Amino acid sequence: METILNRYAERLFEFPGVDPLDDVSAAKAIRDPIEEMGAKIKEDALELIVQRTDRYPYFLQEWGAHAWNTAAASPIELEDVESASGAAVAALDASFFRVRFDRLTPREQEYLRGMAALGPGPHRSGDIAAELGIAVTTAGPLRTGLIRKGMLWSPAHGDTAFTVPLFDEYMIRVMPEWKSRGG
C-alpha cells in the first residue's frame, strides 16, 4: 500500500513537458476543426497562426478560437488572424501567463524579466547574471527555484530557457520599466 501511495504522491509533483508541434501537425490542429465546422482558412492566415503561436498546442487553440470569432465569413483571412491576435495575447496574458507570474516572488520576477531582456533563449547562466548585475553564484539559487517551479529548464549544461514560448514577451509587457543592472 505504501508503494502505491508514494507513486501517487510523486506524480502529483511531476511536470510533464508539452513540446511544440511540428509545422504539419500545428497546421492540422487549426485547419481540421475549422473544416469540420464547414468553413475554410486561407493558407497565409494559417501560417500566421502557426508562426505567432510558436506551434505550442494551447496557444494554437487560443489563436484559432479568436480567429474563428473574429472572422465574419469563411474563409478565415489573414486580416482576421491579425485582428484576433490582440485578443489572443490579452487572453493569454490574463490567464495562462498571469497564473504563472503570480506564483513568483519579486526576485524571481526580476530574474525572469532580466532573462526576457535577452530574448527567448536559451541563455547562458552567466549572461543572465550579467544582465541582472549579480554574481552567477547569487543567480544560481534563483534559477534552481524557477526550474523547480516549472518556469525554466536547462536544455544543456549552463543554458537556461523558458518552459513555454512567448513568456519572454509577456515579461516585457508586464514589467516594461526594466533597466539592465549589468552594464
In this prediction, residue 1 carries a pLDDT of 45
Residue 26 lies in a domain: yes
Using one digit for the tens of pLDDT, what is the confidence trace for 103-160?
Answer: 999 999 999 999 999 998 899 999 999 999 999 999 999 999 999 999 999 999 989 9
The pLDDT tens digits for 86-112 are 999 999 999 999 999 999 999 999 999
Counting Cα atoms < 13 Å in the Cβ hemisphere of 12 gives 6
Q: From CA 37, how far away is CA 17, in angstroms rounded?
A: 30
Instruction: State how many domains the chain has.
Output: 2
Query: Which of 101, 117, 152 is where one domain is finished?
Result: 101
List the Cα angle 55/57/58 in 5-degree steps: 120
Task: Give percent of the chain with pLDDT exceeding 90.
Answer: 82
Give a yes or no: residue 14 inside a domain.
no
pTM comes to 0.83
- 95 lies in the same domain as 108: no
Domain boundary among 84, 101, 118: 101
Do residues 69 and 128 share a domain?
Answer: no
90 Cβ contact list (under 8 Å, min separation 6): none
Q: How sure is the predictor about 180, in pLDDT bands with cuts at 50, 70 and 90? A: confident
Its domain, for residue 95, covers: 20-101
Same domain, 87 and 141: no
